[in-house]
Amino acid sequence: MTWPQPGKRIVLATYGSLGDLQPFLAIGAELRARGHEPIVATSEVYREIVSTANLGFAPVRPNRVPGQQEPDFLDRLFRERRPPAEIFREMFLPSLRDSLHDMLIATDGADAIVSHTLTAASRLVAESRQLVWVSTVMQPMGYLSRHEPPVLGPAWVSASLRALGPGPTARFLRAARWLTALWTRDWHALRAELGLPITEDQPLWEGQHAPRRSLGLFPRVLGSPQSDWPAQARVTGFPFYRLPDRALEPSLQQFLDAGDAPLVFTLGTTAVNDPGAFYEESAETARRMGRRAVLLHGRRVLDHFPDGSDGVIAVPYAPHDLLFPKALAIVHQGGIGTLAEALLAVKPMLIMPYGHDQADNAWRASRFGVARIIPRRKYRASVVRRELTRLLDDPVAREATARVSLAVARDRGVIAAADLIEAALS
């Protein structure tokens, strides 16, 4: 294959939590190492993080980190159990014109744009500027398939669709697409203002996928291509982001060195802002099991910050790739980044999904026997203890965890993504 000449200006457009940013930082670092000029276009609040990664930065509205600026954001995001498309309509489409304005500035002189699902302005900019466009999805359910219905809403809905088969599922997805079409009128209006041709594509559905190349940035083992996926879709594996100077806090390192492998409890980068009684129940679980535990609390104010003296320590954050391999088991919310790190660490896991892709991710992991699932409403120390005990005593789970971890390690997601972006530029 003939690669393009170095020096291409590539805009990486993303939005969301740190879990949505870090894979783009990983890809950007690889593109920079290959001689390109990657520019990360995202919310202003991430400027310092992007600069620390030695990548170019361009601010793009909305300047919101999910769960931190608006008190009711997570209530709407998780507790009301509304479909992702409806959340997208309420929380992202109102900023579409602002996003478009900022993205046009960010892509001045660019050769290509790589887009996140939540950056609906990316396609408009790519077409109006005639840029090479590569789209991404962060989780397998991003490629909505009638052959593998996503786990959304009440469990019985997804179970029923899987039982009924591809035909009824296809009709269900068509109905959902029709219902959400009215929500994207502003997107189509902006197309007209930019002089772009009329299209029947919807940005929440097929319109989010670039016609030349769409990258699935998730572990291959979690989602094999289906016959109704976009023909241009390629699964790269998860792009793990690694800062060269990352380290565990000294107090945490001392705790880990002082005893047996602990249970690790984390809620990722978004759900951590609405933990409920997660940390209290988790600490009590560890005590009832006679196990040590690490609580990653994300700088939340806890009534009591365990310091490790009673076998439980709480820290705001720890690099997952340094902590997870030292764990006995991992309890988490099922975000794709946390799940990928747990799989790579060869550890069994208990998943408590909050919303959106997390239930689907958890279902996919449980199929291989590497995880058990506990509903949020049942997260109590007595139940968590029972589920973890079953998981730790299951030899089949240990074997499955080793097998799946090896598959995740073989993916080389950063390299694969960069290769495919370069191929699209050639």
pLDDT tens per residue, range 267-288? 988 878 788 899 999 999 999 9
Tell whether 51 and 190 lie within a shared domain.
yes
According to DSSP H, which parts of 44-95 are helical? 47-52, 73-74, 84-91
**Nearest CA-CA partner of 216 in 161, 136, 147:** 136
| Residue 243 in domain | no
Q: Answer for the pair 212, 233: CB distance below 8 angstroms, yes or no.
A: no
Q: Quick one: which H or E segment has residue 330? A: strand 329-332
To which residue do tokens 């219905």 refer?
A: 149
Can you give the pLDDT at residue 85? 56
Pair type for strands 37-42 and 9-13? parallel
| Residue 4 in domain | no
DSSP 209: S
pLDDT tens digit string along 48-77? 999 999 999 999 999 876 555 454 555 555
Residues facing 42 on adjacent strands:
59
Does residue 249 carry a pLDDT above 90? yes
| Residue 303 in domain | yes
Tell whether 314 and 399 lie within a shared domain.
yes
Q: How remote is the C-alpha of 189 from its chain's centroid? A: 30
Tell whether 234 and 259 lie within a shared domain.
no
3-state secondary structure of 112: strand
Query: Angle CA(364)–CA(366)–CA(371) in degrees, nearest 5?
Result: 125
Query: How many structural domains does the chain have?
Result: 2
Phi, psi (deg, nearest 5) at residue 259: -170, -165
Q: Answer for the pair 52, 28: CB distance below 8 angstroms, yes or no.
A: no
Greatest Cα pair distance in the chain: 66
| Residue 418 in domain | yes
E strands within 22-116? 37-42, 56-59, 112-115
Tell whether 186 and 301 lie within a shared domain.
no
Q: Answer for the pair 216, 141: CB distance below 8 angstroms, yes or no.
A: no
**Nearest CA-CA partner of 62 in 113, 10, 120:** 120
Tell whether 91 and 229 lie within a shared domain.
yes
**pTM (predicted TM-score):** 0.92
Q: Give CA–CA dist 56/186, Å, rounded.
A: 30
Q: Answer for the pair 187, 124: CB distance below 8 angstroms, yes or no.
A: yes
Structure tokens at 273: 């802002």
Can you give the pLDDT at residue 25? 98
Q: Is 345 exposed, middle or buried (0-12, 13-18, 19+ CB in 10 A)?
A: buried
| Residue 2 in domain | no
Tell whether 267 and 415 lie within a shared domain.
no
Does residue 368 carry a pLDDT above 50? yes
DSSP string, 281-328: HHHHHHHHHT--EEEE-TT---SS--BSTTSEEEES---HHHHGGG-S
pLDDT band at 2; cut points 50, 70, 90:
very low
Using CA atoms in the order 37, 40, 41, 43, what is the torsion angle rounded to 10 degrees?
-160
DSSP string, 136-150: EESSGGGS--SSS--
pLDDT tens digit string along 84-115? 556 666 666 678 999 999 999 999 999 999 99
Q: Give CA–CA dist 379/289, Å, rounded.
A: 15
| Residue 256 in domain | yes
Tell whether 144 and 282 lie within a shared domain.
no
Radius of gyration of the chain from its Cα atoms, rounded to whole angstroms: 21
Pair type for strands 329-332 and 263-266? parallel
Task: Give the residue numbers spanning the domain of 92.
Answer: 9-238+411-425
Q: Answer for the pair 372, 350: CB distance below 8 angstroms, yes or no.
A: yes
Q: Give CA–CA dist 283/381, Å, rounded.
A: 8
| Residue 63 in domain | yes
Tell whether 212 and 346 lie within a shared domain.
no
DSSP 36: -
**Nearest CA-CA partner of 24 in 9, 8, 47, 42:** 42
pLDDT tens digit string along 10-40? 999 999 889 999 999 999 999 999 999 999 9
Tell whether 294 and 223 lie within a shared domain.
no
CATH number at residue 374: 3.40.50.2000
pLDDT band at 398; cut points 50, 70, 90:
very high
**Nearest CA-CA partner of 63 in 88, 93, 95:** 95
Phi, psi (deg, nearest 5) at residue 163: -70, -35
User: Measured on CA atoms in the order 244, 245, 248, 254, is the torsion positive or negative?
Assistant: positive
To which residue do tokens 């197309």 refer?
A: 191
Report CA-CA distances (Å) from 47 to 42, 52, 70, 241: 8, 9, 20, 17
Tell whether 311 and 418 lie within a shared domain.
no
pLDDT band at 321; cut points 50, 70, 90:
very high
Can you give the pLDDT at residue 73? 54
Tell whether 405 and 416 lie within a shared domain.
no
| Residue 3 in domain | no
Tell whether 278 and 138 lie within a shared domain.
no
